[in-house]
Amino acid sequence: MKADIHPDYHFIKVVLTNGTEYLTRSTYGQANGTLNLDIDPSSHPAWTGGSQQLLDRGGRVSRFNNKFAGITFGKKN
């Protein structure tokens, strides 16, 4: 391996949203630094099974629905 091309791999403290802390090794930040998480497995709906919602950012879904509202694909029986 080439010398001096790899990032520093050191210990950091990870703090979850509920206050739980643990020590791990990472290339993030400085040695003995802290990583405060805004989203983690205890609060994110992907892990907790919370309800999912379709976010309409900038009206994209509304524009799509308005644009294609009158389209039909033949006669309905």
61-74 pLDDT, tens per residue? Answer: 788 888 888 887 77
Q: What is the total count of domains within the chain?
A: 1
Helix (H) or strand (E) holding 65: helix 60-67
How far, in Å, CA of 28 to CA of 41, rounded?
Answer: 20
Question: pLDDT grade, residue 44 (50/70/90)?
Answer: confident
The predicted structure's pLDDT at residue 35? 93
pLDDT at 32 over 60: yes
Mean pLDDT of 33-50: 78
Q: Is residue 55 part of a domain?
A: no
Q: Look up the pTM and report it.
A: 0.52
Which residue segment(s) compose the domain that 31 sits in?
Answer: 1-41
